[in-house]
Every structure is written in structure tokens, then in C-alpha cells.
Amino acid sequence: MDTQTSTRTPPPEPRTFGFYVGGQPVAAGEREVFERASPGHGVPVTRIPTCSAQDVDMAVAVAREAFEDRRWSGLSGADRAAVLLKTADIMRARLDEIAYWESLENGKPIAQARGEATGCIGMFEYAAGLARALHGDSFNNLGDSMFGLVTREPVGVVGLITPWNFPFLILCERVPYILASGCTMVTKPSEMTSATTLMLAEILTEAGLPDGVMNVVTGPGSTVGTAMTEHMDIDMLSFTGSTAVGRLCVEASARSNFKKLGLELGGKNPQIVFADADLEDAADGVAFGIAFNTGQCCVSGSRLIVERSVADEFARLVADKMSKIRIGDPLDENTQAGAITTDAQNRVIMSYIAKGQEEGATLAYGGEQLDLGMGQYVSPALFTGVTGDMAIARDEIFGPVLTVQEFDTVDDAIAIANDTVYGLAASVWTKNIDKALTVTRRVKAGRFWVNTTLSGGPELPLGGFKQSGWGREAGMMGVEEYTQVKSTHIEIGKRSPWVDG
């Protein structure tokens, strides 16, 4: 395990932001201000207003007015596409700035943050094409007296709640698709990582998005998030986070206006490795799958399910890969794994590492709290001798903790993989196409990787099975998710009378 030193530094003073309503920032004024310390450095980097339920009401009212007067939904797909493409251009020009603030607030390596922001540019460019491609259907088979149309209309005002682990990436997996559909929105980032969301709102305004179409309220989920989930004038809510909070969103929707929900929730994702795989490639992929973003990733491959005949050898290969991961200052360009994003999550991760040992699993590698002289860092942990009833094998830890379970047959591997309430993602490593196809067909997961992991782009939809969520983001389905379908029957010619005379 290598550690790195910094080549860049945090700002000398924290940057102050306002929340964003009606095309302009709103200063904190009398509101409380949350000062965010960089998890990689332990110094304050941003100051963000703490909004109230009344601020949510104001933002929703502005978004509602912007939707009803059709300043955005009434534009052609081509006009909406032009704004999305201009946004991508501005994002490209401000790429380093976005990556810097993302890295500071989240603790992820700046090179990773830059790569994610580059992918976000692609999201906007792809969604621009979808704004022009979105269409309905027609039915010319209803007889000479009837013609049928099926049209898609924007669902209305969308509430968007995003988490702290991928503040900009998850935002951009949704915002351009919501806008392509013609909706307006109120967005709430995590109070820990609000900067890049507020920056995107400014960029969209600069790109020509009409005022009031994208609004950002900041603050904790307990107040601001709850106000959004229960709001009677939000037509759809998109939430990314834990399954427990997703369940609260469902309950709040039922209590309020039965708003449509899009939910991307938890995961306990299997990486299945067969003996016939390229074990060197697989070990590298497994290490990447658990250590990327310090394991704070809903699709991280946290359950290694490996064929028994190569299990010991493969565990050694993975441990060797883990030992070479460059852990250190997020602002160092060479860092591969940065800081744990929040104090609370750091405590959760370390408690599960202790619990795994208490349950009888063997800590084969890592799992230490690292003292780098600043911030909070954890070395990736590898547990062997794990059984399916252990908490470390069942709970979403949301950290770099990898468990190893062994199998003998394809059916065994599939059964272990499916032995979870989640179904978000999965990977399989094998050079046998029959095994690969069998596993991809039978393992219940919304995203699947064969001989790779955590790859993708804007073309394919994202989402989960079982308790990992509802709906799909990205791709054409990501635009359709934010529409409603309307069927229209058009009678041709004179009506056949129902009433005589």
C-alpha cells in the first residue's frame, strides 16, 4: 500500500455559496450556514446555507411557474438540445474547477473527479440528442373513422435528491435527462457536498436555461429532503441513497400526492470469479471494484464469490493488488484512493471491520485506520472465511470492505449471488461464454459486467432489482422516466349518433 503527498492545496479561506432559485444565487441572510471541512485535509473549504421548508416552498413555486408558463416545456427538442450542448461546452471549459471542488468536499482523488466530470459532459451531449429523438406513437389501424396518437409529456416539477458519494456524477446522470424531457426541477444535494451542484445551476443559466427551470435548495435531508418528499406540488421525486430512506420516500408519497418515484438505492453486489478466468485481470478488477471511491459506491463489488479450486490463490492476488493501491491526499494527481467522506461513515466502516473479526471471519489484509497527518483514511480490507449469515456479507457497508465466499458449481455461485435483498449490480469473470451468459441471465441485478466492472456511459440505463430501487436513469429510458404517456383518439368524419332524432 503506497501513500502519497499533495501537489495542490485547499483554498486559504472557505468558499461561500448561496442556494439557487429563479436563475440566481440566494444569500444565506439570516439562515444558518453549514461549514464543510475537507475530509482529506480537515480544513474548512465551503460554506453553504441551511434552507428551511419555506425555502423549499419558494423553490417549488418558482419551478411550478416555470413549468406552467411553458418557458421550457414549450420549446422544441432542438432548442432544448442547444442549451444542453452549450452546458457541455461550459463544463468542459470549467472542468478543472469542477474537479477541484468535488475532490475537496468529497475526498475522492482529483484525477477521478476529473474523469467523472468528463463523463458528465458526455451525459449532456447524449441527452441533447435524446431531446430531439423523444417521440410517441401513432395507430392508423383503428378503422377509417378513428386515428390514435400516443404522446409523451413532461411529468412536471421534479424533485431531485442526490447523495454525497458521487455528487456531480449522479447529478449529471439525471439532470440532462430531466431537462431533455421538458420538466422543471428542485434539486437538493447532500449538505456535505453541495458545491458542484450549485456550480452546475450557474452553468445552466449561463448556457441559456430559462430562469426557474433548475433550482437548488441546500441543507439536511431531515428537513429539506423531507419537505420535498412530502410536497404536494412536486410531481415526481428522484432519490439516490439508502434503501431505508427510499422506503421513507415511498411512505411520504403515499401520504401526500402519490408522486411518481425514481429510486436508486442500496446494493451488496457480487463479483463472481470462475477458475477459468484470467485471474490477474480479475484480481485487478476486483480490487478496483471495491476500492474505487473508497468503496463508497452503491455498485461497488463488495462480495467476492470465487471458485473453490482457486480461492486461496485468488485471495492472495487480490491482497497483493490492494497493497499497491496509492492511498493519499485527494489533491495529488497520483492518488487512486482518497479519504472517507464523512466522520459518520468512517465510524461505520471501522465498526464493520471489527464486527467481521468478532463474527469469526479472517481479516486477510488491510482494514486499518491510516494516519497520514490529515483527514481520514482506511486501507481496503479483505475478509476470508466468510459465511452468508455474517453481517459483513449481508449489510451494505459502503466502504472498502471485501468479503470472500467460495463455490463449487455454477448453480452454487448463482445462489450465493442472489442471497441478498439487493439487486443493483453484479460482475462475472470467466472465459467461458456459456457460464457468462448463464450467470448474467440468472443473477438478479439491474447492471451487469462481464470480465470488467464499474464501466459504462450514457447510452445504457441504470437501476436496480428488488430492494435496490425503482425505475431507470440514463439512456432513452432515462428521458422517458420523466414523462407521462397520453393516449388520444381522434374521430374522423361525422359521428354515428347515440341519441336518435
Question: Which three-class secondary structure state does DSSP give residue 113?
Answer: helix
* 267 contacts 444 by C-beta, under 8 angstroms: no
pLDDT at 2 over 70: no
* 346 contacts 375 by C-beta, under 8 angstroms: no
Helix H or strand E segment including 470:
strand 469-470
Report the catalytic residues.
264, 298
Q: How far apart are CA 270 and CA 289, in angstroms?
A: 10
Helix H or strand E segment including 245:
helix 243-255
pLDDT at 4 over 90: no
pLDDT tens figures, 332-388: 999 999 999 999 999 999 999 999 999 999 999 999 999 999 999 999 999 999 999
Domains defined along the chain, listed by start: 8-265+468-486 (3.40.605.10), 270-450 (3.40.309.10)
Name residues whose C-beta falls within 8 Å of residue 90's C-beta, 6 or more positions apart in sequence.
203, 206, 207
Mean of pLDDT values over 96-111: 98
Q: Which residue has the cell 475522492?
A: 108
Q: How far apart are CA 363 and CA 129, in angstroms?
A: 49
Length of the chain as a residue count: 501
Instruction: Look up the pTM and report it.
Output: 0.96
Instruction: Write b or e for each residue in 80-105: b if 16 or more Cβ atoms lie within 10 A of its Cβ, otherwise e.
Output: bbbbbbbbbebbeebbeebbbbbbbb
pLDDT tens figures, 448-470: 999 999 999 999 999 999 999 99
**Alpha-helical regions (H) of 107-139:** 110-133
Longest CA span, the chain = 93
- Rg (alpha carbons) of the chain, rounded to whole number: 24
Q: How far apart are CA 335 and CA 294, in angstroms?
A: 12
pLDDT tens figures, 131-171: 999 999 999 999 999 999 999 999 999 999 999 999 999 99
Name residues whose C-beta falls within 8 Å of residue 291's C-beta, 6 or more positions apart in sequence.
322, 325, 336, 337, 380, 400
Q: Please spell the DSSP secondary structure of 16-56, one letter per residue.
A: E--EEETTEEE--TTS-EEEEEPTTT-SEEEEEE---HHHH
